[in-house]
C-alpha cells in the first residue's frame, strides 16, 4: 500500500504541548545512513524528544565507514555477492548497543527503529540476525530497499550484492498490529536521461509535473523553434545516480534515492513532496530533509500509536 501526501506547509513547530504530555511512548533508536555520523541526527533526536519519544542514536562516526573497505579483500565483493557479515558486524554491534540502551528506557516495552538511508536495510539485517521480538515498528527514511536490476547496461550494484542478500534472506515487510513497516520516500527532484534527439517533446524528455520548481528546468528553443524544456545538468546528474539504484534515470526521488526504490511490498509506503535525502546539506525551510521538524510532523504519529 502506498500513500502520496501533499506538499508540506512549513510552519514553526511548537513542542510545548507534546513535551508536557504525561504519556510514555516507546523509545526509538535511530540508525544512521551511509557516511553519516551520530551528530547529524542530533536535531532529529531533540525533535522526537519534544514529542515525548525517548530517543537513542547509534554511535557512528564518519571514519567508521572506512571499516567497510574490509570487503575489498572478500572475493564476493568482486563477484557482486557480498554478504553483510562480517563486513558490517561493526555497525550491527553499534546498533545493538543503542538498542540495549533503549531497552532500559522502555521498561519492558517494545521499541521503534528509525533507519535513515542504508540504516533502513541494515535494520532489517539486524532484525534477522538478532531477533525482533522487542521491536514493534521499523520506519525507514529514504532507504534504498530494492537491489538494482541485473544485467542492465551502465548500471553497477554499488552495494556489491548486499541488497540482493537482504532481499533474499531478510523477512518480508508486514503491517500488522504487532509489527509495522513504514517506508517513507521523498520527492525532491525528478531525474532526467541523456538524449541525443533535441526534437523530443516536453513530456517525453522529463515529464515535469505542474508543481515542479522552475529552477529544476531550463527553457530553450529546439530545432523546430518551438518552446521546449531541457533538463538541467543537475537533473541529468541526479538522474544518473537514480539509474544506479533503480535502473532508470527519469524518475522522482529525494535527490539520492529514487522513490520506487524506497518502497517495500507489504509495508505502508508513503511519499512526501519536497523532501531531500540527507541532513547534510539540508535546510529546514528551503531544502528540508526527512528529519526536519515540519517533515517529522508528517510521520511522527506512527511512533505515537
Q: CA 140, CA 185: separation in Å to the nearest integer?
A: 8
Alpha-carbon Rg for the chain, nearest whole angstrom, is 20
Cell 526521488 identifies what position? 253
Q: Each residue's pLDDT tens digit in the chain (305 positions)?
A: 666 655 554 333 433 344 434 578 999 999 999 999 999 999 999 999 999 999 999 999 999 999 888 888 888 778 878 888 999 999 999 999 999 999 999 988 999 999 999 999 999 999 999 988 899 999 999 999 998 888 788 888 888 989 999 999 999 999 999 999 999 999 999 999 886 433 333 233 333 333 333 233 322 223 333 334 567 889 999 999 999 999 999 999 999 999 999 999 999 999 999 999 999 999 999 999 999 999 999 999 999 97
| Cβ(188)–Cβ(253) below 8 Å | yes
Q: Among candidates 290, 271, 294, which has minimal Cα distance to 40? A: 290
Helix (H) or strand (E) segment spanning residue 42: helix 42-50
Q: Label the pairing between strands 111-116 and 28-31.
A: parallel
Identify the bridge partners of residue 227 per DSSP, sorted by sequence position: 221
User: How high is the pLDDT of residue 209?
Assistant: 38
Cell 534504498 identifies what position? 144
Identify the bridge partners of residue 258 per DSSP, sorted by sequence position: 253
Which letter does DSSP use for residue 30 in this model?
E
Instruction: Give the three cell numbers for residue 76.
Output: 564476493
Identify the bridge partners of residue 115 per DSSP, sorted by sequence position: 31, 140
Chain centre distance of CA 65: 18
User: How high is the pLDDT of residue 6?
Assistant: 52
Q: CA 302, CA 21: separation in Å to the nearest integer?
A: 17
Amino acid at each position: 500500500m502506498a500513500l502520496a501526501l501533499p506538499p508540506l506547509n512549513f510552519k514553526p513547530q511548537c513542542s510545548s504541548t507534546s513535551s508536557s504530555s504525561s504519556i510514555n511512548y516507546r523509545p526509538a533508536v535511530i540508525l544512521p545512513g551511509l557516511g553519516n555520523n551520530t551528530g547529524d541526527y542530533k536535531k532529529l533526536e531533540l525533535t522526537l524528544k519534544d514529542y515525548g519519544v525517548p530517543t537513542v542514536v547509534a554511535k557512528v562516526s564518519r571514519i567508521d565507514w572506512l571499516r567497510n573497505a574490509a570487503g575489498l579483500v572478500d572475493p564476493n565483493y568482486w563477484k557482486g555477492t557480498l554478504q553483510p557479515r562480517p563486513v558490517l558486524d561493526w555497525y550491527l554491534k553499534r546498533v545493538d548497543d543503542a538498542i540495549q540502551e533503549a531497552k532500559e528506557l522502555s521498561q519492558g516495552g517494545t521499541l521503534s527503529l528509525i533507519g535513515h538511508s542504508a540504516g533502513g536495510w541494515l535494520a532489517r539485517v539486524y532484525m534477522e540476525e538478532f531477533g525482533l521480538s522487542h521491536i514493534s515498528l521499523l520506519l525507514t527514511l529514504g532507504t534504498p530497499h530494492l537491489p538494482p536490476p541485473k544485467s542492465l547496461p551502465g548500471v553497477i550494484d554499488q552495494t556489491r550484492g548486499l541488497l540482493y542478500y537482504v532481499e533474499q534472506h531478510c523477512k518480508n515487510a508486514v503491517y500488522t498490529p504487532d509489527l509495522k513497516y513504514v517506508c517513507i520516500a521523498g520527492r525532491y527532484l525528478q531525474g532526467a536521461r541523456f538524449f541525443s534527439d533535441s526534437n523530443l517533446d516536453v513530456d517525453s524528455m522529463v515529464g515535469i509535473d505542474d508543481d515542479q520548481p522552475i529552477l529544476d528546468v531550463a527553457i530553450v528553443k529546439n530545432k523546430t523553434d518551438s518552446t521546449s524544456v531541457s533538463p538541467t545538468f543537475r537533473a541529468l546528474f541526479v538522474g544518473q545516480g537514480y539509474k544506479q539504484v533503480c535502473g532508470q534515470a527519469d524518475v522522482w526521488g529525494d535527490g539520492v534515492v529514487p522513490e520506487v526504490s524506497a518502497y517495500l511490498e507489504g509495508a505502508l509506503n508513503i511519499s512526501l513532496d519536497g523532501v531531500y535525502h540527507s541532513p547534510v546539506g539540508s535546510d529546514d525551510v528551503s531544502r528540508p530533509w526527512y528529519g526536519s521538524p515540519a517533515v517529522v510532523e508528517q510521520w511522527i504519529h506512527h511512533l505515537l500509536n
